[in-house]
Amino acid sequence: MPSGTSATARALTVDGVPADGRTLRHVWNECVGAGRANEALRADWQAHFREAVDVLGARYVRFHGLFHDDMFVYRGDDGGGGGFGPPTPLAEPVHTFSYVDKVFDFILSTGARPFVELGFMPRALATQTETLFWWKAHCSPPTDMGRWADLVTATVRHWVERYGLDEVRQWRFEVWNEPNLVPLFWTGTRTQYFELYEATVRAIKAIDAGLLVGGPSTSVFVPDARYAGETEDRTASIATGQAENPDALDWRPVWIEEFIAWCAQRDLPVDFLTAHLYPTDYAATPAGGHKEISRYVDATYDDLTLLRSIVAASPYPDAEVHITEWSTSPSSRDRSHDTLFAATYITRAYLRCAGLADSIAYWTFTDVFEEGGAGLGPFHGGFGMVNEQGLHKPTFHAFAMLAQLGDEVLADLPHGVLTRDRATGRVAGVLHHYPDEMGGRSVRAESTYDDARRLADVGTRRTVRHTVAGLPAGATFDLVQLDGEHGNVAEAWHAMGQPINLTLQQTADLRAAADALLRRTLTASDDGVLQIDLDLPPWAVVGLFQTSPAAVGA
């Protein structure tokens, strides 16, 4: 019998098989992503995040732009002048944290914590400026590495003084974001990024050795040698070849092995490794365009398995593995993000990959997200689990179901999982119907909602039957079902004619449709047996949650 399994759990069986007893890590809500720090000053962002914490169980949040100009951290002048002349230059840079404090105070007030992405470069310290985004981020090496280290030191010391060392030791400090994407997220070389990491980790560890630092936060796995050198070689991209079966290619992480070797040679700490594992690769072409390569449904599982093996065999075998961005695609205009199909995809992937990472951060929790500016209409393919009006997309409901799972596996099922909460004994499950007719395909990125809707015709109904024995007599369960007709808010918007600007009444109608999941109650027999007998339409996601008694055996 596995250690940590109680006598009560031993009596539970699923389809006649004793409880599994393995621990289920909730990698889905350990961390969630967001756009940039300044957006966190908005009331709607804060409302959406508080709901993500309270309903979805989000524990950390990560975003870009901590040091961007609109956070006013690195000050080379007094900010005066206006229409009366230029601001007064300062003899030495001054670091101010009033805007940062507002953001971090709020995050901590919700019970969550920041997963700190250290970037991007303040304009006054950048070698190149306005490299990407509507808000004109400066993603370059610093003009003075010493002043970058001073900025990091001042910032982290401020947090320690404000929140206490014990609190800040529970944060994670990730150095930069996707530095392999030159000249967008980084204008330097691979070695220059490694040097930035060295300066940063030494600065933070000089404050306290117990503070946790990692990287390299690189984007996607690739099947070619485009990132083998100091900068991207687009002529080596598989997009220039004729790969008819991308899943047969050798997909490898970007810079992870080189980063580990570089740090080990210099005896640098690496507390955790980070990467982004989108199952869709937008490979750049020499002509300047991009070619989409869509991988199969288990690409994330395979990538994580490989990444874990690399870390285990490295000089840092105990390093945590955090996937700090993940979704069905890395496009903020992918209409599939708004759909039921994405919800089913992520449910399946999270349950399959739960044992392979310390966190897999969904990118993002909200459509309050302005990398390319605000979206065109309420459902524009934004990354969020809620749209700009706070309407719950199907992915929100999938996360809400996953959040209610226990920490002990009772049974891994072909299409889901049944669990138990070790503290309360509460039994819960999540089941899904990702159609076999997909043939292993993932949910592709789509530029229009009409294109994304085509998957509604894929798949046939599925019968799901399981027996759970050993429950209290008459135990009751809430069953909630997300499917094409229940909780499918983008489809309700489509039925309205896809209006770009919603009236107040349309918003209220969509809010009701968004949360109108199918709900019913299941009851165990007098001898403690629950019969689960479901007829699921394609793409359905179902949650099953014990409501009484409060604990097994009570």
232 is catalytic: no
Q: How far is CA 377 from CA 44, 332, 380, 389, 497, in A?
A: 16, 13, 6, 10, 12
With left for phi above 0 and alpha for psi between -120 and 50, is residue 111 left, alpha or beta? Answer: left
Bridge partners (DSSP) of residue 325 are 276
User: What's the rounded Cα separation, in Å, for the pair 381 and 364?
Assistant: 12
51 is catalytic: no
Residues 6+ apart with CB under 8 A from 42: 368
Specify burial of residue 320 (Cβ count, 10 A radius: 0-12, 13-18, 19+): middle
User: What's the rounded Cα separation, in Å, for the pair 292 and 283?
Assistant: 6
Encoded amino acid at 162, one letter: R
Catalytic residue among 30, 39, 174, 178: 178
Contact 122, 73 (CB under 8 A): yes
Number of neighbouring beta carbons within 10 Å of residue 112: 22
Comparing CA positions, the residue from 89, 96, 74 lying closest to residue 149 is: 74
Helical pair 98-109 and 43-54, crossing angle rounded to 10 deg: 30
Number of neighbouring beta carbons within 10 Å of residue 269: 16
Residues 6+ apart with CB under 8 A from 399: 28, 29, 56, 362, 385
Comparing CA positions, the residue from 421, 394, 425, 422 lying closest to residue 405 is: 421
User: What's the rounded Cα separation, in Å, for the pair 419 and 429?
Assistant: 6
Alpha helices in 333-393 (DSSP H): 340-353
Catalytic residue among 232, 325, 388, 446: 325
Instruction: Compute the chain's Rg from CA coordinates.
Output: 24
Phi, psi of 112 (to 5 degrees): -95, 180
Bridge partners (DSSP) of residue 519 are 480
Give 478-517 as a DSSP string: EEEEEBTTBS-HHHHHHHTT--SS--HHHHHHHHHHHT--
Element (H, E) at 304: helix 299-312
User: What's the rounded Cα separation, in Å, for the pair 444 and 142?
Assistant: 38
Pull the structure tokens for residue 188: 């330097």
Pull the structure tokens for residue 151: 């900025």
User: What's the rounded Cα separation, in Å, for the pair 369 and 49?
Assistant: 13
Active site residues: 178, 325
